[in-house]
Amino acid sequence: MSQESLTRLLADLHAERLRTWDPAALKINIDQRATLVETADPAAWVKAGDTVEPFVLKDVEGGDLTLKGLTANGPAVLVFFRFAGCPACNIALPYYERALQPTLKALGVPLVAVSPQVPERLGEIRTRHDLSFRVASDPDNTLGRRLGILYTADAASQAAQRAKGAFIGDTTGTGTWELPQPTVVVIGRDQVVRFADVSPDWLVRTEAEPVIAAVRALAAVPV
């Protein structure tokens, strides 16, 4: 099992921003993440023991991914991320490729990275990093909303984007400010959530080890 730390990789990203970003832009970013942490409502988030209702995701390679199909032979792991151009996501997904995917593949457990971004724009992150696991679109944030993991950018963040002529809804193709908080969910063959970890701060994300432990426990495979 890899001892590489996603926490350290994301801390390095933040440190680089401290050195290189304009102070005003940096403050907006830091304040937004702090606000999301302060206003988080964990009671609304998906949690172990929840039953997941049927869903359909759009594979960037074409076709649909369904809950029934993903869990047909055992558990499945979903990793929610924001969008293909998100810097932290471009650190997290390659990390999961290195630290999580080899074990899940050996156990026959599908790993799917999920974003609301439309498939034709989302696929670039899979190509860029040569990811071996599935990447899929959650149209209209339907599953993310059901799992209670969405957030909307605050006024300062929206104004900063507008000032640059940008709008995240154009980037994602959703037409809204809503994005999923970084989340990892392990769903059993019985379609019950066995592990869930949600982070309102997008520079704090789930390490591979607890996910592997949850899957091994569910699959009754010795650690």
* Domains of the chain: total: 1
Domain membership of residue 69 (yes or no) is yes
Tens of pLDDT along 147-199?
999 999 889 889 988 888 889 999 999 999 999 999 999 999 999 999 999 99
Rounded to whole angstroms, how far apart are CA atoms 212 and 216? 6
- Interval 124-143 mean pLDDT: 97
Are 54 and 68 in contact by the 8 Å Cβ rule? The answer is: yes
- Does residue 169 fall inside a structural domain? yes
Distance CA 185, CA 191 (A): 11
Using alpha carbons, select from 160, 198, 154 the residue that is nearest to residue 177: 154
CATH code of the domain in which 209 resides: 3.40.30.10
The pLDDT assigned to 221 comes to 45
Domain coverage including residue 33: 6-219
Which helix (H) or strand (E) element contains residue 197?
Answer: strand 193-198
Q: Is the model's pLDDT at 222 over the cut of 60?
A: no
89-99 and 6-20 are packed helices; what angle lies between their axes, rounded to 10 degrees?
Answer: 160
What is the per-residue pLDDT for 1?
41
62-109 confidence digits (pLDDT tens): 999 999 999 999 999 999 999 999 999 999 999 999 999 999 999 999
